Chains A and B, each alone.
Chain A
Amino acid sequence: MMHRSKRVMIADDDPGILDCLSIMLEYDGYEVSSTLNGANLLRLGDDLPDLLLLDTWMSGVDGRDVCAYLKGNEPTKKIPIIMISASKDVEASALQAGADAFLEKPFEMDDLLSKVEQYIG
């Protein structure tokens, strides 16, 4: 329980995923915030997370565009982004868009936690 100060933000249009991942990360000691609307990530204020879990396909916006935008902007470019998708085929384009890591659904929770820890542990 050494990570209390670390904040993970989850962006996914599926409330179940949000709920499940939030419980998991919180149970592991992270401070979690989440959003169902990917577009919200384009208007992040000063309150930036330490790591972003980003779904690829969200209603209204492509996660890879969001990723590229955040990685292209000074305040957000340093935030590690782990992209999540149900499609393995997206991996290449996700990394292309600047994502630091890629996870294919369904994934093992341990894999997720170890990846998160890898960037902000």
Chain B
Amino acid sequence: MDLKFPSHGYKDVFYNSIAPMLIVGTDAPHYTMLDVNNAYLFATHTRREDIIGQPVFGVFPANPGDMVSKNIERVIFSFEQAIKTKVTHTMYNYRYDIPIPGSNEFEERYWTTSNTPVLNESSEVLYLIHSPSNVTELYKAQEREQAAIDLTKKQQQQLQSIFMQAPVGIGIFKGPDYIADLINPPLCKLYGKTEAALLGKKIFDVLPDAKGRGFEVLLDNVRLTGIPYRGEELGIPMLRNGKLETVYVNFVYEPFRESDETITGVIVVATEVTELVNAKNKIEEVELRNRIAVNAVGLGTFDLDLLTNEAFTSTQFARIFGFAEALPRNNYLELFHPDDEPIRRQALKDALVTGRLFYECRIIHKDSSMHWVRAEGKVIYDDDGKPLSISGIALDITKEKKSADEQRKLISLVENSVDLMSILKMDGYNSYINEAGRKLLGFKDETEVLHRPVSELHSPEHLLQVQQEVIPSVMNTGRWSGVMIVRHLQTGENFPVYNNCFRIDDPVTGAPISIGAVMRDMRPELAAKAALADSEQMLRNITTASPAALWMSDENGHITYVNQTWVNWTGTLYEANLGSGWLQKIVDEDRIRVADKFMNDVLEKRNYEVEFRITHADGKIHWCLANGQPHYDNDGKFAGYIGSCMDITEQKMLQQQKDDFIGIASHELKTPVTTIKGYAQILEKMLQHHGLAREASMVSRMDSQLKSLTSLIADLLDVTKINSGRLQFNDREFEFNPMVNDLVEDLQRITDKHTFILHMNKTGIVFGDRERIGQVITNLITNAVKYSPGAEHIVITTAIENNEVTLCVEDYGIGIPRDKLDKVFEQFYRVSGDLQYTFPGLGLGLYISSEIIKREGGRIWVNSVEGKGSTFCFALPLVNEN
């Protein structure tokens, strides 16, 4: 045998090698297949003729179903590496599916392939030996193993995860001391401890509050008997997160068995249901409250049977309709307000369609009072969808309606307010401005309000105030009020408004949502102020320039103001006159009288008038007439006096001169009258002596005219004396009645027409000037005669009343008009009108009489009916006998 290996033998080796081999050319990108061995053909289900001379990737295209392997790119890369590095390049465990002959299918294949370059003498790569090993089975086995491992791992993780993340607490407690062996976070949480604080510890050491509450017995039972225990909503007091609370738990105790079935502990599965229990308790509480509330808010319930039209109503329902207890349905129906009855009917009809009943109607109770009722209900259907009944509630909403009414009024109030009212949103736009505001700022309509930002309502310089002062203040303090300048949208006029604005917060979140503002146009006020200032200035000028002194006092009579005139007169400082300082300038003799008069008038709040003398700055004495009137503030409260003070020195002087003149003149008249009287009386005597009776009578009449003249002169003198305070009295005690009797007798002698009827009751002694009082009586009687020309009688009555001696003279004459009664005692008052000229006189008699009686400490008065007559009376104090 020839042991030399024949050269064609290598070819046999190649073809017969069990390792698949393919000879690939270096003609990239074709990589033409040059030769192939049998193993390769077998492995790739190909035939030699399919391969030789063909490009490798033409025969072995990529599996369109395998988008991940990128096998062609990997093979090309390997070829290139082998050619480039001229050493073997190996690809491990890559997928390269091969087509299944006769089909478009591919067979999944995994390969480990080496590409070995074959070099020539010049070290050039002649071709590549591509030698793939089919590792598909191996690879798949590995893959399956890995998948099994992964699955186990995953399952383990899932279990762990379930255990750890289960929403229920799970724990394993081992041995008779129940040492925590395993415990998941929910159970830790339930116990209020960390895992570390629990693991390896006796559970009742860690949770002392749970000790002695029966749990030990339960656990022992499970551990010793193997019978599980289930507990529901058990309350456990527990110190959690620093506070003791009752934790409610649903739990199961299961025995923990080892693989040999011995029980070594207890599995605890626990769910905390505290919130659930609390919620349940709360629900019960709410239900209870609702029941109470339903009664409290007066909800009545009803159930209307739609088949019979009968209604079952609660007592409260009946009460809403004004009945004490539930009544048949008709009783309720007849109470509906006729205007609202159609509403109720319609609501009932609608309910059958919509399934819901709702209406608000007025009802009129039997006592005629009107009430608003709201009814709400739900239609109940049978299985065929046919409505059976309506159940619902009724509520008296009279108050609500009224408040809605109030709200409407409020809105109307806002809309009709003369002040601007607005709501400014946080985005700088107003959401509302009332009508007055729209007019004030020149908005055309409500819509324009929404589209004009607040920045357009102020000129830029005034907007600064809004931005820097107003809004920050409102945001920080909730309010701002003050003057701001706004701009009219149409005219562009800037004008001041007084703004009172406030923050409006969301009632729920408390976040500011808008700014409410109430603004008033200040222009009228400013104009009024300016006018007031002008008029104040004017008044000041007037009061300063006033020729009269002006003054004011407070309600206590303390002077609070004197004008410049008074200050100038008295040469004092303004302040020195305040309070009662002004009295210091009144002369000593008058001061107390004036002060008393003023204080008394202030007390009585009556008009004040007094004359006094003051010392002027130059030391001269001036007469003043002070007047004051009480004044009242706007609330009608007495606020003091406002008054004036006139310098009447000149009038006083003139009056004095007049009195002096009348006094002197009257006095000087007396001498010639005396002389004339003398001559007349002698003449009368002489004429009588010579028997010339007629001539003597004429002279006698002349003498009686002289008596009238004398009387007039006497009156004038009396008046001047009264005015100057020089009327003198020669007072002494005298019997009143005899004096009256003598006078009446004397007067009767000279009166022929009237008869005097004298009623003299017991009187007594009077202290006074007998002649002056007689003068008064004479005056009253002569007046009675004078003013009752058509009457025949005059009644004179004396009496004692209340410790006073009174005398009345009653005539039946012309009387005095009611409105003149209080004038008859005034100086120079005379009967006026057509009758005036019928009754000559100076009008001094009653004035003098009244002055005399007053000076004697008595009273004088008159009662009169016009056309019927008058009764003049006076009263004087009676002197006690003892």
Using CB atoms and an 8 Å cutoff, list the residues of chain A in contact with chain B. 14, 16-17, 19-21, 23-24, 27, 86-87, 89, 92, 105-110
Contacts and interface: CB of A to CB of B under 8 A. Distances in A.
A20 B686 contact: no
Contacts of A19: 675
Contacts of B679: 20, 23
Interface string B697-738: 000000000100010000000000000001010100000000
A23 B675 contact: no
B678 interface: yes
B667 A87 contact: yes
Contact of B677 (A23, A87, A108): A108
10 shortest interchain CB distances as A-B pairs: A20-B678, A106-B674, A86-B670, A16-B675, A109-B681, A105-B674, A105-B670, A106-B673, A20-B675, A86-B667
A108 B681 contact: yes
Contact of B675 (A14, A87, A108): A14
A108 B710 CA distance: 11
B685 interface: yes
Contacts of B668: 86
29 contacts: A14-B671, A16-B671, A16-B672, A16-B675, A19-B675, A20-B674, A20-B678, A20-B679, A20-B682, A21-B678, A23-B678, A23-B679, A24-B678, A24-B681, A86-B667, A86-B670, A89-B726, A89-B728, A92-B730, A105-B670, A105-B671, A106-B670, A106-B673, A106-B674, A106-B677, A107-B674, A109-B678, A109-B682, A110-B681
B597 to A, nearest CB: 29
Given A92-B730, A106-B706, A27 B685 contact: yes
A93 B417 CA distance: 87
Given A17-B675, A20-B674, A109-B677, 15 more contacts: A14-B671, A14-B675, A16-B672, A17-B671, A20-B678, A20-B679, A21-B678, A23-B678, A24-B681, A27-B685, A27-B686, A89-B728, A105-B670, A105-B671, A106-B670
A106 B675 CA distance: 8
Nearest to A106: B674
Interface of B: 667-668, 670-675, 677-679, 681-682, 685-686, 706, 710, 726, 728, 730
A111 B685 CA distance: 14
Nearest to A23: B682
A106 B710 contact: yes
Nearest to A27: B682
Nearest to A19: B675
A20 B675 CA distance: 6
Contacts of A27: 682, 685-686
A24 B682 contact: yes
Contacts of A21: 678
B664 to A, nearest CB: 10
A93 to B, nearest CB: 11
B706 to A, nearest CB: 7
A23 B730 CA distance: 35
Contacts of B678: 17, 20-21, 23-24, 109
A59 to B, nearest CB: 13
B610 to A, nearest CB: 28
Nearest to A55: B671
Nearest to A109: B681
A84 to B, nearest CB: 8
Nearest to B689: A27
A89 to B, nearest CB: 5
A27 B672 CA distance: 20
Contacts of B681: 24, 108-110
Contacts of B671: 14, 16-17, 86, 105
A56 to B, nearest CB: 11
A110 B710 CA distance: 17
A20 B678 CA distance: 6
A19 B674 CA distance: 12
A28 B679 CA distance: 14
A92 B729 CA distance: 11
Contacts of B667: 86-87
B701 to A, nearest CB: 15
Contacts of B686: 27
A110 B703 CA distance: 13
Contacts of B674: 17, 20, 86, 105-107
A36 to B, nearest CB: 13
Nearest to A12: B671
Contacts of A87: 667
